[in-house]
Structure 1
Amino acid sequence: MIKSKFSISLHILTLLALDKDSWLTSAHIAGSLNVNPVIVRKEIMNLKSGNLIESKEGKNGGVRLLKDPSEIYLSDIFQLVKGKHNVLSLSKNTPNPACPVGRQINEKLESVFDNIDDAIIRELSKQTLDAFKNQF
């Protein structure tokens, strides 16, 4: 789930960065993503809660960036989308506590998953939204 939310959020923010003085509607953004505007509105709510965008209702309403794209790192977007969850997750079943592996596997895996997320954040912190949007 994190994978698609990050892609959608980055797409939205890239559009806003390319046209940072305009208020873009969820319908316009959805057209670029080729998805239902409801999906866009859900991600817009999350981006607003992270203080990355602002919105205005009404005839000339829409959303726009709240910060300069040079101040937004891809890692900021990832961490907002990721929330408390790791990119990888534990199995839904409860391992056998009588097994030497089963009683420790989740603890060991959580450490690995934290390291993976940290590596992703380090990599994404090397690029701003401004640098990303300049590819288009």
Structure 2
Amino acid sequence: MSVSSRSAVAIHALTMLGRWHGHSLTSAEIAESLASNPVLVRRILGSLRDAGLVSSTEGRNGGWSLSRPAREITLNDAYTAVETGPVLSRHPHPPSAACEVGRHMQRLLEVEFREAEQAMKERLNRTTIAFLVGQIPTGGHEA
């Protein structure tokens, strides 16, 4: 199973924006915290903007900010804004119908995978960006 890092980047960016609520941050500032490329961060922020989670302003004091309060943004909101498709990969092609296991495996896995993905969604819906912001110690070095 291979899960992309887009959701981790999105959640990191949203948490930074929540931490500095009231101040716009540039994609370069967010990328610095991620030790990443600003182009990658802009792509992720674009998906978050499309989902209504962030907004951007142009100009000298421009940057990115949350579109709604951090307490109203869940980790699942971030995940669904940037990820496509199921979390768990299905068979790339149908297994052998001549095999006793192969005949039934897709149906069996579909049930298990769907329930696992639903449990993940429910768990991510319980955590907000505001909660993560609250878990970050203050008083240390800021990015």
Same fold at TM > 0.5: yes
Name the structure 2 match of 1:102: 102
Which runs of at least 4 in structure 1 moved beyond 3 Å after TM superposition? none
**Matches of 1:100 and 1:46, distance apart in 2:** 43
**Gapped regions of structure 2 (runs ≥ 5):** 137-143
**Matches of 1:58 and 1:108, distance apart in 2:** 54
**Gapped regions of structure 1 (runs ≥ 5):** none
For the 8 Å contact 1:53–1:66, the answer to whether it is kept is yes
> In the superposition, relative to structure 1, how do residues 111 and 81 fare at CA in structure 2: closer, same or farther (>3 Å)?
farther
| TM-score (normalised: structure 1) | 0.89
Name the structure 2 match of 1:118: 118
Corresponding pairs, count: 135
**Matches of 2:44 and 2:104, distance apart in 1:** 36
Give the letter aligned to residue 98 of structure 2. Answer: A
Tell me, what secondary structure is at the counterpart of 2:135? coil
Correspondence 1:1-136 to 2 at 5 A: 2-83=3-84, 85-136=85-136
**Matches of 1:3 and 1:134, distance apart in 2:** 26
| TM-score (normalised: structure 2) | 0.85
Shift of 1:3: 4.4
**Matches of 1:32 and 1:97, distance apart in 2:** 51
Name the structure 1 match of 2:141: none
Tell me, what secondary structure is at the counterpart of 2:23? coil
**Matches of 2:94 and 2:58, distance apart in 1:** 47
Shift of 1:2: 4.2
Give the letter aligned to residue 119 of structure 1. Answer: A
**Matches of 1:13 and 1:2, distance apart in 2:** 19
**Matches of 1:49 and 1:105, distance apart in 2:** 37
Identity of aligned residues (%): 36
Which shifted more, 66-75 or 99-108? 99-108
CA RMSD of aligned residues (A): 1.6
